[in-house]
Amino acid sequence: MSYPAQPSSESSSAGLSGTHTVSPETRDALALSAAIMARLRAPDGCPWDREQTFDSIKCHTLEETYEVFDAIDRRDWPALKDELGDLFLQVLFYAQMAEDAAHFSLRDVADNLNAKLVRRHPHIFADAQATTAEDVKRTWESVKQTERASRGDAPQRHLDQVPQFLPALLEAEKLGACAAKVGFDWPTVDGLFAKLAEETSEIQAELAVSAPLNQPNAEAVADEVGDLLFTAVNLARHLGQDAESCLRRANRKFRSRFNCMEEMQGGREALAQASPEELERAWQSAKHHVAGQAGEPVATDADVNPL
């Protein structure tokens, strides 16, 4: 089945009816948001909004994305509502700037998205079959490859399908998953634990070589630490975990425990003056206190790492 690259409003709503349609109130609210942005960018609009460019706005997009992540991690639904609005503002801003420059419009963005969603869900909008989530993923990737081939930008090499501009953790995860598609992967998670031990020992060996000189080879150490991190990311992938989310969770845990320890010590100045032994005792107390508030078990071994 073929689909138009830019469907009309009528064709893009094919197969949608009843509870699948958007309420008039929602359509009106979205239309008003677009109209407000157009007004802000008008010749007699807001000076700040008018002087913004794609380059000046893109840093805000990244910031707003992480604020969405944070609201989700905290399960703060009112905050998520606000942050999604801020993220949606970025879409409106880019689309309006593009329309001002005669590149494309918000309507073009929506039409393109609608066509893509229909095209990549043939089990819903056509006669393809997909009964499991894995079936859907395979169909999605197949259609995606067909789209790339039609545009003449199909990957020349297997790993070319993983963009190099992704954040490092996400790129590492996708590289591992992409390589696994051709069978290049650890067959079991046990191999990853062994690899972690191997990479850790290689860092130690590199430090041992440079110890007499008291000057570690920074480049060699960076290579070995990178290998360790890459292996850790793929361990998370094998365990069905998102490495970025895992690390953000660990960061929140460390922040919470450290803040608690600081309060127990009597503030920042008292914390800075504490001895290593006092800090260790305070850390263990903080771990128990924070875990107790969350109803979580805590290791009692005093000689554990900070996490």
pLDDT digits (tens, 9 = 90+) for 231-289: 999 999 999 999 999 999 999 999 999 999 999 999 999 999 999 999 999 999 999 99
Give buried/exposed letters for 148-167 (b at 16+ CB in 10 A, else e): eeeeeeeeeeeeeebeeeee
Q: Which fold has domain 159-238?
A: Helix Hairpins (1.10.287)
The whole-chain average pLDDT of the chain stands at 88
CA-to-CA distance for 55 and 88, rounded, in angstroms? 17
pTM of the entire structure?
Answer: 0.67
DSSP state of 18: G
List the domain boundaries for the chain. 25-119, 159-238, 243-294
pLDDT digits (tens, 9 = 90+) for 52-97: 999 999 989 989 999 999 999 899 999 999 999 999 999 999 999 9
Question: Domain 25-119, CATH 2.60.40.10 — does that match?
Answer: no
C-alpha pair distances (Å), 157 with each of 153, 160, 161, 179: 11, 5, 8, 11
CA-to-CA distance for 122 and 1, rounded, in angstroms? 8
Q: Do domains 25-119 and 159-238 have the same CATH topology?
A: yes
pLDDT band at 209 (very low <50, low <70, confident <90, very high): confident
Write down the pLDDT at residue 302.
47
